[in-house]
Amino acid sequence: MIKIGIIGCGNVSQTYLYTLSKNKDAEVVALADIDLSKAKKHAEIFNIKSIYSDYKEMIDKESLDAVIIATPHFLHHDQAIACAKNSIDILCEKPLATNMKDTVDMINKCSNVRFGVMLQRRFYPNSIAVREVIRQGLLGEITEVSLDFSCHKTPEFYDTWRGKKISGGGTLISQALHRIDLLVYFFGEPQFVEGIIKTTRPYIEVEDYAKGKIYFKNSIVADLESNNSSGNPETISIIKIKGTNGHIILSDDKALEWNVDYPKPEEVDINKIPIIYRPAYYGPCHEMVIDDFVDSIKNNRQPSVTGKDSLAAMKIIFGFYSDKLSEDKRIRI
């Protein structure tokens, strides 16, 4: 049985706890959170043996095979490295870190363990199908790519660490990261970015609007717009890909248009994790990443999505955060 500890007992931790409770090869044996009442509540629901207010005490006292890191962004770096020093495998929430230096440092210092990252959209059937369509060249020459994301995060959302510089950023690193990672998954290594970021609310310290272009090595250029101050409570998330032989339009796990000579992917059952065990904004496939991570330990392989796999998307985001960013001049990332 693979013994797992969870660091961070906020809302997202229940998704891990529920999924791991269903996995015959894993057992969550300990929880850690600076708010011990949160750890105690989850421990009672999921019958967890031990709780700690200090994650370092947990990894010292428990014989853990792996940890889940589900804490605020700015804590990931130190927590992951502490686990790696103790030869404990890691599955970390995104983003890995709040700056490029710490991201690279994490990846390097966690190279001695399995180091997975929660990028569940790579497991969507439509993501896998699009990647195969592009690999086979079925769209012909790619002529247009765009990523449009908008939602509205309330003042209450930002009345925490999320509205502070310590979070690492706003709409790009918190919401658009998953979509940007899919562009990397589809088109490969990025080279340049150009564009603008804006902070339109006076009470936050991070960007809530971004617009620009991502230039990939294969000469594909993707237009990007991300806005979490739209005023519209409905989330809009669209990736469009046009080629000389067809086009595809994705909305998260759905394929809105599928004009290509390849079987249209099916949608995923989002209710594999009941709504009481996941935030309302969560999409599907978190359980697939978690189960894959457990299987990677059981079968002595790397997770399907590693920390290193997330590096290219982080380069794009931190490129947009660069002081050198310009609306009409590409900067190398």
Residue 281: what pLDDT? Answer: 86
Residue 66: what pLDDT? Answer: 98
Tokens standing for residue 160: 């925490």
H/E element, 186: helix 177-187
200 burial via Cβ count (<10 Å: 0-12, 13-18, 19+): exposed
Helix axes 13-21, 36-46, angle to 10 degrees: 20
Q: Return the amino acid letter for 37.
A: S
Task: Please say if the pLDDT value at position 166 is more than 90.
Answer: yes
Positive or negative, the CA dihedral 139, 140, 141, 143 is: negative
Note whether 221 and 231 are within 8 A (CB).
no
Distances in whole angstroms, Cα of residue 130 to Cα of each of 105, 144, 269, 281: 32, 15, 19, 23
Note whether 45 and 6 are within 8 A (CB).
no
pLDDT tens, residue by residue, 309-328: 999 999 999 999 999 999 88
Note whether 195 and 213 are within 8 A (CB).
yes
Distances in whole angstroms, Cα of residue 3 to Cα of each of 6, 23, 52, 237: 10, 12, 16, 37
> pTM for this one?
0.96
Note whether 172 and 179 are within 8 A (CB).
no
Task: Please say if the pLDDT value at position 165 is more than 90.
Answer: yes
Residue 280: what pLDDT? Answer: 86
Residues facing 79 on adjacent strands: none
Task: Please say if the pLDDT value at position 102 is more than 90.
Answer: yes
Note whether 28 and 9 are within 8 A (CB).
no
Note whether 195 and 224 are within 8 A (CB).
yes
Residue 284: what pLDDT? Answer: 95
- All domains in the chain, ordered by first residue: 2-120 (3.40.50.720), 122-255+307-332 (3.30.360.10)
pLDDT tens, residue by residue, 229-242: 999 989 999 999 99
pLDDT band at 138 (very low <50, low <70, confident <90, very high): very high
Task: Please say if the pLDDT value at position 223 is more than 90.
Answer: yes
324 burial via Cβ count (<10 Å: 0-12, 13-18, 19+): exposed
For residue 225, what is the DSSP state?
A: E
Give me the mean pLDDT over the 276-285 stretch: 92
Give me the mean pLDDT over the 186-205 stretch: 97
pLDDT tens, residue by residue, 249-259: 999 999 999 99
CA nearest to 184, candidates 331, 323, 319: 319
Helix axes 311-320, 100-109, angle to 10 degrees: 160
Task: Please say if the pLDDT value at position 126 is more than 90.
Answer: yes
Angle, CA of 229, 238 and 256, to the nearest 5°: 140
Residues above pLDDT 70, as percent of the chain: 100
Residue 187: what pLDDT? Answer: 98
- How much is the mean pLDDT over the chain? 97
Give me the mean pLDDT over the 109-116 stretch: 98
Judged by average pLDDT, the poorest of 155-169, 196-210, 267-281 is: 267-281
Q: Return the amino acid letter for 148.
A: D
d(CA 223, CA 232): 22
Residue 158: what pLDDT? Answer: 94
First to last CA, the chain: 42
pLDDT tens, residue by residue, 69-83: 999 999 999 999 999
